[in-house]
Structure 1
Amino acid sequence: MRKIRISLFLLLGVLLLTGCNTNVVATVNGEEITQQQLDKRVSIVKDYYEKQYGQKIEGQDAQKLIDNMKPGLLDEMISDTLKRQEARKVGKDMTDQQIQEKIDGVKKQFPNEEAFKNFLAQQDLTEKDMAYMLNLQDVVLKDVKAPTEEEVQEYYDQNKEQFKTAEQYEVRHILISTDPDDAGNVKHTEAEAEKLAVQVLADIKNGKDFAALAREKSEDLGSKDNGGLYTFKKGDTVPEFEKAALALKPGEYTREPVKTQFGYHIIKLEKLIPARDQSFAEVKDGIKQQLDQEAKKNKFNAYLEDLKKKAKITNKLAETGDNKSKD
């Protein structure tokens, strides 16, 4: 028993001397990334997907999905830590005024101070570190040249399929909604909505202007103010709406309310917009911006990869999954 106790004390001493911490999932040049920080990042991403797609990540498959998420998110955190370390080195001579200018430039992109603070919290950044990161980006990318007119033209010539627009359908529609709001409240029952839609349809048949009725009666906030006007191509909208609209000729409207997951619609087809090729003049600014962004992204990624080669990085998830680490 005495030997076992001595062995335990020795083991404890070794752990203390080596600074072993089972809570640490990675280190970047000696800076630790903890399990709690990784869990926070997972939670942020999980919340984003749930809000984006309206579907809870829960049940039997949820843990497997989260576990599959963690290695990639930890890699991102390692890269973020490395960038933050380098940004502090590069930005050490920045003046207070230069730092504040960077902060103010980002702040004005947010509707209020709270939204800005939430952004920083999600990115796990202080205002000063954010300024350093923007400065690092400026330093690394300062020599990236904007694409020339010839390069933009060449991209257009080689990728013309990207610049074909599909046939589109310009409609007006009036929606009587059965869709619940964020609090789960429903404005109309199915029966009420159908009855109101039939009444609106009767007004149209009696000669009332469709666009005026849409402004007055429609509950589709995205289109009611412009008279229910909505332009779409095949695949853009729910199948019931698309099928009803495509069955119309220009000037015709549906003779019965069309039921979808959102409620009851009355739809009028205004016109067909034929498929066509977009001209170079129409798309050249977008191509130029795309090529510029790609060049900057490639330059910064190459810079980051070089940093990683020189850094001392340990990744416990990689060690567990792949039996390897990088020193």
Structure 2
Amino acid sequence: MNCVRVHVSLIIFVIGIIAPQMVIAQDDPVVAIVNKVKILRSELEDARMRLPDRLRNLPLQSVYGMLVNSLINTKLVAAEARKINLHNDEGVRKRISRIKDQILERAFLELYIEKRITEKALAEHYEKLIVANSSKEEIKARHILLEKKAQAIEIIREIEKGEEFSELAKKHSTGPSASKGGDLGYFAEGQMVPAFSKAAFALKKGEITTEPVQTQFGWHVIKLDDRRPLQPLKRTEIEEQLRAAVSQEIGTAYLKELRQTANIKQFNLDGSPLMVKPIVK
């Protein structure tokens, strides 16, 4: 929650005292009414944030109907639960208390972290990534993918006789890169499946694998076209990942600090004292 967002919240709060209906209509519209209980867009947004990644990243309109109906069901069933006084059940109250703590934890950490994600912190983390990858290489390779080992062996023989690799790839490869002569472009170590990556990086420029390489996709004949220092990604391409990494660092450091200054006692599942093993130096 940045400064702009805080100021906006304060403005909305002040205006809300004067004209609450106008604020609700403009900034947090009603998306459904269930037995006179309003469901606001803010509830919809909150529900969306709890979805799995594959759904959360979809446009809101794509999951709008699903979310609204889920919230309607929640309101209906919660109302029935209150009719039988279930919200005052001791077990339910304990579960609600735990959920409140979790919400407070997330809200506080979001606020704490957001205040500390500075341009300087992001720039420094990006520079660390550049330095860490400065000694790494990437290669440009092409391959011919075949179903059987015998077919791959025959292709190697044809190449050794002088046949053009790219033409053989176009004619025989079952992989999606066949139309491009088997060209896979540049990739770093570890970006391909292990067996393929190991064989490709072991080659010198212009060499082909003298034995077929087996992966879960089939049998490969690989040719190395080029080798160069790993090209760093532009910061704009990884801005989201940078923010996530810096956020994790800030959150982890803060939790470590809290634990160091807190009086914490841990126990086994049966309630007996937890024996901490001494650190062997």
Q: TM-score range by the shorter chain?
A: 0.3 to 0.5
Structure showing greater relative contact order (alpha-carbon pairs closer than 8 Å, 6 or more residues apart): 1
Q: TM-score, normalised by structure 1?
A: 0.41
Q: TM-score, normalised by structure 2?
A: 0.46
